[in-house]
Structure 1
Amino acid sequence: MRGGRNNYVAGAPMVENLGTGFIVSGTVRHAGTCAPIPNVRVQIWTATERGGEREPSNRGSVMTDAEGRYRLETSPVVPQFGQPHIHIAYEDPGYGTLFLRPVLGSRNDTSIEVDFILAPSTDGAGS
Structure 2
Amino acid sequence: MTRVLRTRRALLLAGAASAGAAFLGAGASGLLAPVRAQGLAATPTMRGGANNYRPGAPLVERIGHGGFWMTGTVRRAGDGAPLPGVRIQIWAHTTEGHERDPHSHGATLTGADGTFRLEMPQIVPAFGQPHGHL
TM-score for the superposition, normalised by structure 2: 0.61
Give the distance between the partners of 1:51 and 1:43, measured in 2 at CA.
Answer: 16
Aligned twin of 1:75: 121
Runs of 4+ in 1 over 4 A off after TM superposition: none
Give the distance between the partners of 2:95 and 2:76, measured in 1 at CA.
Answer: 35
**What SS does structure 2 have at the residue aligned with 1:25?**
strand
Aligned twin of 1:65: 111
Name whichever structure is richer in strand by fraction: 1
**What SS does structure 1 have at the residue aligned with 2:59?**
coil
Give the distance between the partners of 2:110 and 2:97, measured in 1 at CA.
Answer: 27
Name whichever structure is richer in helix by fraction: 2
Q: How many residues align?
A: 88
Aligned twin of 2:132: 86
Q: 1:10 aligns with which of 40, 55, 79?
A: 55
TM-score for the superposition, normalised by structure 1: 0.65
Give the distance between the partners of 1:52 and 1:77, measured in 2 at CA.
Answer: 10
Aligned twin of 1:26: 72
2:77 maps to a residue whose letter is A
Q: With a CA cutoff of 8 Å and minimum separation of 6, indicate the structure with the bigger relative contact order.
A: 1
Gapped regions of structure 1 (runs ≥ 5) = 89-127
Aligned twin of 1:115: none
Question: What are the superposed Cα offsets for residues 14-68 of structure 1, whole Å, 9 maximum, x if unpaired?
Answer: 0000132211000000112211000000000001122210111110000000000
